[in-house]
Amino acid sequence: MKQETLVKELQKLVGKEKVKGSIDWRLSYAYDGTPTGYKGIPDAVVFPENTEDVAKILSFANENRIPVYPRGAGSGLTGGSAPLQGGIVVSTEKMNRIIEIDEANLAVLTEPGVVTYDLQKEVEKRGLFYPPDPSSYKFSTIGGNIAENAGGPRCVKYGVTKDYVMQLEVVFADGTVANLGSKAVKSVAGYNLKDLIVGSEGTLAFITKAYLKLIPAPEAVRTAMAIFPKVEQAAQAVADMFKVKVIPTACEFLDKNSIVAVENYAKIGLPTHAEGLLIIEVDGYEAIVDELIHRAIDVCKKAGAIEVKIASDPKEREAIWNARRAVSPAIVQLKPKKINEDVVVPRSRIPELIKNVYKIADKYNLMVVNFGHAGDGNIHVNFMYEPHEEDRVKEAVREVFLLTLELEGSVSGEHGIGWMKKEFLPLEVKDALEKMKAVKRALDPNNILNPGKIFDL
């Protein structure tokens, strides 16, 4: 179908004002958060306002074999929402209402385009808590978080987005509208298609509503920092914390290069010879949080921490977190280019991961910075490089993925596969890949939903 015809047909379907076909609009929606730039330009950008609009668009696209690229805030890091082969970008920007906060049942019914942070603020007004907190939470949307099964620092205690999705209203590729899951806390009625859709990166269905579980907001929080001469000591502290029955809300790790970068950037007095820094947060009942943070700190001391600090007020808490927040702005000062991979390994394998990542960096003569969510083994491995080093970086990244799999980990903890990591997926999932493809063909036989993502058919 000609581009102009497509735009006109879509305008007839859902209304002129909801469909944009000019080159400026199309270019603006060719990008997402992936640092590689755009891969393709869509033929049209559509802003549906409700489920019916989405169903009409998908039915039409399915009949005419036109690719559809679901899009939240476009903040993904692996190209999940990037249009690859023309077609239609379908943005959830206009589907941004929180429909109902169901206080009696600790849940919220929302449209997919609501920004995660906005939803959190809204439920917090009622003493409730929506824990998933991807770094992008101030601009990424609930729909995008669900499509990518977003994690975040708090997931070591509270789990990932999937753990909060009770029911989804979705539109399948053929325009079928269905509710998956249940508003009841548990349900075993038929196949769990809900959790299949979560994390499927927009390739199996378009999410139009989500009924999300909330929990009572924790009464209190305590934050501490611990600095270790050796990376093994930091890893040991993480493991031992669980043994004294402390499940931290967050347990963030900075490696030597991160510490140096932050110190050079922010001058906050970090010891630049240290190999590991942990930021530990606990939350829960007022009567217990002090005990918990002390248990955590005792564990750190026993593991060999040379410096520990418990925040005594919100200002000190902010100061501790600022060290973590400074990592990203600090490291981009180091080199003009960066590639950030979010590998994840079983907690106990973190020291092996870090040591060997350094070896790989040495082998390819590259700068590497490691930091991330140590509590759940999810480490962001960042190679910082000059443009001419790109080929070596690619080799190094490949070795990091192989290392991760050797350590029984996963090539993506929270960023997804998108188009960026397609070549590495088969190394991890092996014979399950054909079964994933079979499911894709069953639910989207014409391959219109986000084609070219996760795997090629």
Contact (Cβ atoms closer than 8 angstroms) between residue 405 and residue 430: no
Give backbone dihedrals phi and psi of 281, rounded to 5 degrees, phi first: -125, 140
| Residue 98 C-beta: closest distance to a copy of itself, Å | 18
Q: Which of 414, 420, 450, 451 binds a copy of itself (CB under 8 A)?
A: 414
- For a copy of itself, give the closer residue by CB, 291 or 318: 291
Range 329-388, binding a copy of itself (CB under 8 A)? 344-348, 376-378
Q: Does 452 bind a copy of itself (CB under 8 A)?
A: no
Handedness of CA 29, 454, 76, 109 (dihedral sign): positive
| Residue 27 C-beta: closest distance to a copy of itself, Å | 29
Contact (Cβ atoms closer than 8 angstroms) between residue 446 and residue 67: no
Q: Does 425 bind a copy of itself (CB under 8 A)?
A: yes
Q: Which of 70, 132, 151, 276 binds a copy of itself (CB under 8 A)?
A: 151
Q: Give the bridge partners for 369, in sequence order.
A: 382
Q: Which of 184, 302, 359, 394 binds a copy of itself (CB under 8 A)?
A: 184
Written as six digits, the tokens of 98 are 């929180």
| Residue 162 C-beta: closest distance to a copy of itself, Å | 7
Closest CA relative to residue 108, chosen from 209, 195, 186, 217: 209
- Binding flags for a copy of itself, 80-119, as an x/- string (CB under 8 A): ----------------------x-xxxx------------
| Residue 413 C-beta: closest distance to a copy of itself, Å | 5
Taking CB under 8 A as the binding criterion, the range among 43-51, 133-141, 224-232, 415-423 that sits at the site for a copy of itself is 415-423
How many whole angstroms separate alpha carbon 327 and alpha carbon 258? 6
Q: Does 429 bind a copy of itself (CB under 8 A)?
A: yes
| Residue 455 C-beta: closest distance to a copy of itself, Å | 7
| Residue 197 C-beta: closest distance to a copy of itself, Å | 9
Q: Which amino acid is at 98?
A: I
How many whole angstroms separate alpha carbon 372 and alpha carbon 263? 17
Range 218-257, binding a copy of itself (CB under 8 A)? 218-219, 239, 242-243, 245, 247
Range 266-325, binding a copy of itself (CB under 8 A)? 284-285, 287-288, 291-292
Contact (Cβ atoms closer than 8 angstroms) between residue 238 and residue 305: no
Q: Does 53 bind a copy of itself (CB under 8 A)?
A: no
Structural element, H or E, at residue 320: helix 314-325
Q: Which of 98, 196, 266, 306 binds a copy of itself (CB under 8 A)?
A: 196
Range 153-182, binding a copy of itself (CB under 8 A)? 155-156, 160, 162-163, 172, 176-180, 182
Q: Which of 7, 255, 415, 420 binds a copy of itself (CB under 8 A)?
A: 415
- For a copy of itself, give the closer residue by CB, 116 or 412: 412
Structural element, H or E, at residue 148: helix 142-148
Q: Does 436 bind a copy of itself (CB under 8 A)?
A: yes
| Residue 305 C-beta: closest distance to a copy of itself, Å | 19
Q: Which of 9, 122, 195, 399 binds a copy of itself (CB under 8 A)?
A: 195
- For a copy of itself, give the closer residue by CB, 20 or 295: 295
How many whole angstroms separate alpha carbon 228 and alpha carbon 235? 10
Taking CB under 8 A as the binding criterion, the range among 16-24, 63-71, 273-281, 438-446 that sits at the site for a copy of itself is 438-446
Range 19-38, binding a copy of itself (CB under 8 A)? none
Q: How many residues bind a copy of itself (CB under 8 A)?
A: 91
Handedness of CA 258, 263, 153, 224 (dihedral sign): positive
Contact (Cβ atoms closer than 8 angstroms) between residue 72 and residue 112: yes
| Residue 54 C-beta: closest distance to a copy of itself, Å | 15
Contact (Cβ atoms closer than 8 angstroms) between residue 345 and residue 404: yes
Handedness of CA 346, 352, 358, 364 (dihedral sign): negative
| Residue 30 C-beta: closest distance to a copy of itself, Å | 24
How many whole angstroms separate alpha carbon 250 and alpha carbon 311? 15
Written as six digits, the tokens of 56 are 């009409």
Contact (Cβ atoms closer than 8 angstroms) between residue 255 and residue 231: yes
How many other C-beta atoms are found inside a 10 Å radius of the C-beta of residue 185? 10
Residue where the block lists tokens 């299949």: 196
Q: If DSSP codes are grouped into helix, strand and coil, which group holds residue 203?
A: coil
| Residue 96 C-beta: closest distance to a copy of itself, Å | 24
Instruction: Order the strands of the 88-91 sheet from edge to edge.
Output: 19-20, 44-46, 88-91, 68-71
